[in-house]
Structure 1
């Protein structure tokens, strides 16, 4: 019988805001957020727990945040500093394992199945990591410990801030039985609402539901909901995550409603996308044939259009943009984005790339 994996999910507590509070102790006890300027359509990257008492949260517009909390201290992000500290956090991780999958600057999965420190106890390892982060960096982290990735992520949120939660292999069936479907990673607000309309609120209810009906209603995400609801998650912690797409987007200072207005913004986005692709020297433009565009409207609804048989060019992206523009239906546009999916970096692709260099 295969031994259960020991997976830790570490999530820093309001990381950016916590770093700013560490750098400036006078901010302690005050509502603090890190984000863009309200006058430039900025949004919050994160906020501390004092700010959250006012209903603030990440991705909220800075202008709305200031209305909810007039005394909010809004700080522009310092990503160079955050990356430096994130590197220090990962150095602590590597004392215990090299199997680390970063999700962002402030969270990561660790596989400690074969770690011999702390007598092999994932619970003790998580405690030691959190203690080291606090003692050495003066920051707090929360941790989740479980035999499955999705449960480790859910567990790290159970006792926030500065806490941890453990789900043993024996605990999995009972924990999953009562788990709310909205807590499953990847189940967003729209999917959760659709599930509720179908009378489905917990994983236990999914276990008693028809799989064909679920897949018919939700497709790919339906399979994930089914698997997770049955305590199935075969995904491994991946130390080297392969980037699957490259994109750029822009939140507009003022909403627009004509394609003529969008043209200048689009041209700028296309040039920025080309610039980002230059970092991927091993890829040729001829390999990039799955293109996409994204719009966000003034009612904050988002729509995306992708096609996988197009030639990478400004004309192809503009063609997609003119098509997706029809979905506006009287609404104004507040954000435009363009992106491209990267090809698999297989040996076959590498042989093709040897024949033609993009740059």
Structure 2
């Protein structure tokens, strides 16, 4: 999505929208003398879904992969694809870049585009679809996943993942109340009981390890992991298991910011510590708890070098606890978290009442 520049390289952006990973959501391109929109990384330009040719190209790409036999799509922040006409600036007294969510979250044509996608692509295959949707409510989820609406099958909502975030956002970590968590999970179970379908998850590439987040990853790591798995798999919906979850992989504590790789973490550290002089220990503590790299360390296969993940150098350091927590050890212990997950999966398959 590009906007012709009337200001030049040293001018200002088309509006005051901020990118999710800090800074402006706009990047100036000298070659074209245009700004392009990137709600996330500058390496992830937003497509102009209002352009029918763009949509048709996306559908062609989807068909290409479906014809090769893939089983479905997980659609990244799909409820951000429709922007308000004119791309208006956010009216605010705040200086700098601010969240433009009100102008693109669940935008004006989002249902039109998803229905069109379903009609032209998705409905022709026996596949599953799930849309990642920050900020989606239960009522909006029904609109996206109601069978009669012919859009998507499930959404990844974030409400239960934001319960340990304070007023300052993700990095403003606060304790998560058990009662609040239970109330939130119950709300989604009841809301989508007859319309739509829940996606059930604790972990993914954007979230820290749940056994460290909502459990006890020390003395009671195994018990915590089994308890959290039970909660998830005994609810109605489709459970998602993220790599390492089934062996109880934990968060990691790298001593230096130089060991981290995630753009969100690095930009936050730069903004808070280098630019604003905030306390390093406090910032690092928030990274230990909520950083996305907690989920991105290599899979721990065994107790050999680099946890058996590679014979080369991994892009990010392996969690040092790989000698105690790994797949090889889990498979050798019939009472391990791994075998508990297998029991839960078997229970769901053979007892319709659970599903």
Higher relative contact order (CA 8 A, sep 6+): 1
TM-score, normalised with respect to structure 1: 0.27
**Greater strand share, 1 or 2?**
1
TM-score, normalised with respect to structure 2: 0.27
